[in-house]
Amino acid sequence: MIYDHIMRTRRYVPYLFLLPAIIGLFGFRLIPIVWAFLMSFTRWSVYAPPQWLGLANYKELFSSELFWGILKNTFVYTAIYVPGVMIIGLILAVLVNNRLRGIAFFRGLLFAPVVTSAVAIGMVWGWILSPRFGILNHVLEHWFSVSNPPAWLGDRNIALIAIAFVAVWQRVGYQMVLFLAGLQDIPTVFYEAAKIDGANRWQRFWKITLPLLSPTTFFVLIISIIDSFRNFTIIYTMTRGGPGSSSTTLAYAIYQNAFIFSRMGYASSLAYILLIIVGTITLINFYFKKKWVKYKY
């Protein structure tokens, strides 16, 4: 009797232990995702009950010049950020993959910006890039005698690019660590065999390192793209999306609409556009994966 009882209840025990995680997943992920989808068809100021609008938010969005500008900014940012962190991250990883004395120090140094508060980074770079008082323009003017250095974050044509560079500087350490792990996974026998066959450094990198690193590269590509679409803090601390809306990306526009303009419905529709874009890009990446990612040696 008792034995049967235990056996019967036992089957539920694992679920009991999983319950906190499941509650978290449903309560803080799935339900908000579904809720946001519903809200994207409403006008919702949070403090007043939502009003059904049908597709009006999406119509407004597609007919708004501001939205297309923001979308363009988002892609420009991604086009700088993703190749930036991946190429520089790989180069750095190859460099710190050497067995030199004190290499741990350099690895730590390059990783430091990743663990530094983005708010602090935004502020310090804000000072560096300040047109009148910043060190960058001081150097440009006095060492390189540039007569009219740009206003960087104050210039609507440059602000977004400047932010993207700072973001690359901040995040590249993370990509470096991932690549480094990938590099150390490659068995040394391949290199030794290639050396005996007379392959030079470049050939070894091109023919062995890159193909064998491809699973890592794929992973880094996916997370870098997602990372770039989600960037918020650096924009908030450096330009607040300005001048005008020249450095406003989709993620930042979602924040503005939701928490400054109290337009939760419109912000939700922006969030769904973001979801569709990131989802599509990720799907495309997975589709082309088999063409270049090699899991077997």
Nearer to other proteins, 29 or 294 (CB): 29
Distance of closest approach, residue 135 Cβ to other proteins, in angstroms: 11
Q: How far is the CB of 118 from other proteins (least distance, A)?
A: 15
Q: What phi-psi label fits residue 78: left (phi over 0), alpha (psi between -120 and 50 degrees) or beta?
A: alpha
Nearest to other proteins of 166, 220 (CB atom): 166
Whole-angstrom distance, CA of residue 69 vs CA of residue 71: 5
> What's the gap between Cα 29 and its chain centre?
19
Contact residues for other proteins (CB under 8 A)? 43, 45-49, 126-127, 129-134, 151-156, 236, 239-248, 255-256, 259-263
Please identify, using beta-carbon distances, which residue of 63 and 98 lies nearer to other proteins.
Answer: 63
Q: Which two tokens stand for residue 22?
A: 């499941």
- Residue 56 vs 95, nearer CB to other proteins: 56
Which of residues 40 and 239 has its CB atom nearest to other proteins in the complex? 239
Q: How far is the CB of 27 from other proteins (least distance, A)?
A: 14
User: Do you find a cis peptide bond into 243, omega within 30 degrees of 0?
Assistant: yes
CB of 220 to other proteins, least distance (A): 31
In a 3-state reduction of DSSP, which class is residue 83?
helix
- Helix residue spans in the chain (DSSP H): 2-10, 13-25, 31-39, 56-63, 65-96, 103-115, 118-128, 135-142, 159-185, 188-196, 201-204, 210-230, 233-238, 250-255, 264-292
Taking the C-alpha atoms of residue 86 and residue 75, their distance in angstroms, rounded to an integer, is 16
Minimum distance of other proteins from residue 227's CB (angstroms)? 21
